[in-house]
Structure 1
Amino acid sequence: MIINPNRLQFFEYESVSLSCEVQGNSPGWRLKRYTVTKKMSDCGTDWGKKQVSSCILHLTPSDSGVYWCESGSGEHSNTVNITLPGVDLILESPALPVTEGHSVTLNCRYKKTPSDHTADFYKDGSFIRTESTGEMTIPAVSQSDQGLYSCRHPELGRSAKSLMAVTDLSPPASLIISPSRSQFFEYESVSLSCEVQGNSPGWRLKRYTVTRKMSDCGTDWGMKKESSCILHPTQSDSGVYWCQSESGEHSNTVTITVHDAIILECPALPVTEGNSVTLNCRYKKTPSDLTADFYKDGSFIRTESTGMMTIPAVSQSDQGLYSCRHPELGRSQESRMTVTGNDRPASPIHTAAPPLANSDTTNDLKLIKDTLRVLKQKLDTVTENQEEILLHIRRMGGVRRQSLDIDVAQSVEELVGFETKLSERPEYKKRVVGT
């Protein structure tokens, strides 16, 4: 879906043009929306004016919502979230993903032009800098520039936040982290490796930590094992990790943080649009109650009794900073989930393993069995509330009910296998019989 002008925030009665850019000759595509009025409809029904291949809209507050293109067979495009904040200033930030290396200008725009254009700019809630022109330019964007941006005028207040997504240029090497998450407890095992395209030689795994020191794996940290670097992190290992060649080329970066009581297991690497993702609130010491609240960009999403929250089919709107909170153990640090476009049919993935306790086998197996029970209940719920869930998921990512059924069934199957493997481990059998 293409939006012109290419931004998410608008003032009332501004004009916006929306169109569907279809690959090949696929017919029957319509422009749809789901607004704050909780109504789903097509352009030309009770909103918008069809003009050649576009839909022209003169916005009012009730037009705030999610817009996308959808085919007659249920295929869908990217989504765009249009907002009318209802304040005296907006942030002009790209609505569509920006390619890494390109220049981007963010503009703090005012309904009534003030005498002073000075504006403060923020990313993910943290101050970046002040610009006297009200415009901030990023000369060459990278993955680290992806985030929620806003601006503030000393007299007119602060704008709403807008997400700027960045797509990479397929770097010559990729940093792979296993398990694929950014938060860890002390002394957990982490494997890092460089996946190099072609035969480019001389790649090293590097890091810059909270101790403000840059170094390579195998110097004063990590243990080289074949093509990987094994790390058992402590607090001082928190930092940014990446692969770098002798000529200065570099891979994606991964930020690792080490914590004491509670962490959020969230994919460290980008997730493909349409795939399933499970976020897991994990505890160093297993509490009697696993219930956890989940948050995105600081806003409450929902409470899950298992401590795990599944997004059946992720879309660009799911991209953001996630955290979880336990009623007794407190709140985890935020982790960013990045979503990339999907050029192939979606297939479910499971990024967070069942949360193993550090106590004993009985607790571990009980936890898995409880999770199985909840997942099976979820599968029944999908059947009973088919239409309501289908509407919600189509709005968020556009998958059919069967896909969700398969996803839940596969999760159950994986957990059953995991339970069996855990029961058969000799070291756990010894603990059970008390030897």
Structure 2
Amino acid sequence: MGASKKLFIFGLLLFVSVFAFSNALKFLPKDYSAILYIPDVPKAYEEFKALPIGQTLLADTGIGLESLVRGVLEQQLLSMKYTLDDFDLFSKEMLVVIDKDGNMTVVLGPVKSPTKVRKVLESFLEAETLKKVKFTENYFIYSDVQVGGGKVPANLLSNLKGNLGVTYSYVTDGKITFEGYGYMRIENNALTFYQKLDAKTADAKNVLKTLQNTKPIDIFADKNVGGDLLLFVNRPIPDVLRKTFLDALASNFNITNVNATGVMYLSADVGAAVSALLSTDTQTGNSKSSQTTPQVSISAYSVVFGTGFKMPAEVKKYVTIGSEKYGVLTTENGMESYILIKNDRMITYTVNPTKYKPGDRTFFTSIYDSKYFMGIFLNFEPLINTMLGKKVKSSAVFVSYIEGDSIIQKGTVK
């Protein structure tokens, strides 16, 4: 057999073997801008769980978050006369897609019984969220747009070798175009993410120069910034990038139909909320008379810069605090957010502003670099210290910065 024929057969076998488990990709929407594809979610989870950070956060010898989540889920399943086998939402593939307008699509599965999985989800998700959920060919699909019809990027599947997941981004407005692939893998006892987006046009290269030379805002001049979670974009970014990387997030914060510059930041104290939830859960468990499910809010504070902000239509209540008028947004489960509209920004608290106290910001300032134009910092150390009584350096950090004619996006969970 000739060498070229052997190569063809090998390539064909590789193609068939890869597509044998790539059914989720059939739901790629048209006009997508960013893709994350994980072909084997259980494998990715087990490899993360085997890491020191995974053991600390998930295992019963650590904080035991896996048992906590499993316990809540099993309790709900038991009340429905189901078992864990009936809720197999995360037992196969995961596909996350963002389109050119910032709409997000999530595909999970396939599942054995869409009917059972949907009934379980109805116990945990709000009605508005469920409206975007459907099951097709036993796949869970959460989306605002028509799925299917998108072409799989040429090198997406070949980049899976040696990686737990792959990414692809293609963002363009006609004149400004960026494109690149990335990966998710285990390296140096950490879960790592890397993606390189190359400027494909002269206008894209000029945009990067402007972005690099723009002075970032001073996030830490705001005394309300603190805690263990920080999300930021510290300078105006082009619309083509904002739509792909920010609009999906912004819509979840009721920030729509505004002239947003892209500049924003959010800080929160997640560890304190988790600790309070576990403490409340323990007290509830010891109280036979308790009939209510404990609710704990994450104390968060966010600022989004722009013009033309309007109160979300869902806001029905207003309160005056100091000299400022806040709109109060109440979710179905009774959680409240306080929204303040100013000429150039929208400010949101997830607790009453008079009760908000920013957490420590040392972790943020120790790793922040002004060259990062976008980032997410999450410090696990306070949570671990509260739960286990020992100090362990642990964090999740994701940043974006410019290097030559490319955008580098890196992440580490360790």
What TM-score, normalized by structure 2, do the two folds share?
0.26
| Higher percent of residues as strand | 1
| Higher percent of residues as helix | 2
* Larger relative contact order (Cα-Cα within 8 Å, sequence gap ≥ 6): 2
Q: Which has the larger radius of gyration?
A: 1
